[in-house]
Amino acid sequence: MSSRYFASAGIAILLCLLIAAETCRACSGSNDCRNGGTCNSGSCTCLSIFTGATCEEFKLKGSISDVEANLEAVETTVFNLAKDDIKKAGNSGLSAAKAKLGEVEKHICGLLGEAVYEARDCKQLHDQEGDLPSGYYSLRSSGEGLRRVYCKMEGKYGGGWTRVGRIHPETHKDCPLQMEYIEVEGKAMCTRPARNNFLEPGVSGFLAPDYIPYTEISGYVKAYRQGTVDAFRDSAGKTDKQCFADGITITAGYLDTHVFTYAVGLPPVVNNMGRCPCHGGTAPPEFVGRNYTCTAMRSGNPGWQMSDHLWEDSTLCPGDDSGAWFKVAAPPGFGIERGNPIRVTPCTDEAVERIGIDDAEIYVR
């Protein structure tokens, strides 16, 4: 999935704002329509920033007021196009999508008339302008052109963090590639698809942008659960490429090296190795080390437990006052002059169990 899709979290929903579709000609199925277009009665219905018989030509509609009034809601369209591009065209689709998003970013920056900072990423911006608050900024660096990114400029872990991924289905009404969008009791979530092969994770394709060198990763995940989950109990013999814990795993690099795990276990009063490690349950695998946190579920009832919002309170172990936030060093061997993909994976080891993400953000520095 294109790196800039997720680095420009404030731009990514632009398509969602601008979906005032127009109809073009000639298709026999939706695979004939490009850039998120759909085939209806032999004609491609295009998203509003594309035109042409198969939605192949780029354009941009929408006024400055559209953008200013909906910056936080600008986070979804390119995200959906990324899924289509990957399915239809693989790597060549990514290159085309990246180029299109670059045009969108430049247009938006021009519409907003914002100050443009000479910086490659939020860290450089923070080093230059240490008093800036968190928010969206237009950045320009040699050879990279103009881009708009969300920067986290304060907090327990300091400033200078570039947001490269976000899952917020309440806003997006959709989920990353391979994940399923569901609603339970009015709450929107992203989870692994309900299928027989429950050990196969649903992976969200957060990609750290190519132009951002980074040595640290931070972020948070909040979610709900379905069924009775048991932390690291069944992790023996599993690798960081598998579902070794009930919860959320975060990996980085093209080899999916472990970064951090959000586990959820049985209540402390239950005499079972499925409790969190600090409650007497199974310890995490060696490759996890201390890069994890675990919370105990409040009850063992089946079904979705919507009163049990995971990883947001003081029951975390090991825990501190950072709540759901984590910060770790990038895996060993990461070159600081290249970007590496970061993935967020909901994992459970039984078909009746699922983890549904309702809010997550990933940053690099």
CATH number of the structural domain 161-364: 2.60.120
Find all residues with CB under 8 Å of 195, minimum gap 6, and list them. Answer: none
**Is residue 4 scored above 50 in pLDDT?**
no
pLDDT bucket at 12, cuts 50 / 70 / 90 = very low
More confident residue, 311 or 172: 311
238 close to 349: Cβ distance less than 8 angstroms: no
Res 97: pLDDT = 56
Domain residue spans of the chain: 3-112, 161-364
Q: What is the pLDDT of residues 189-238, one digit of tens each?
A: 998 876 534 444 445 556 666 667 788 999 999 999 998 899 999 999 88
Place of tokens 């199925």: 29
Pairwise CA distance, residues 299 & 76, whole Å: 35
Res 112: pLDDT = 58
Pairwise CA distance, residues 30 & 232, whole Å: 43
Q: What is the pLDDT of residues 124-143, one digit of tens each?
A: 999 999 899 999 898 887 76
Res 65: pLDDT = 46
Pairwise CA distance, residues 190 & 323, whole Å: 21
* pLDDT averaged over every residue in the chain: 75
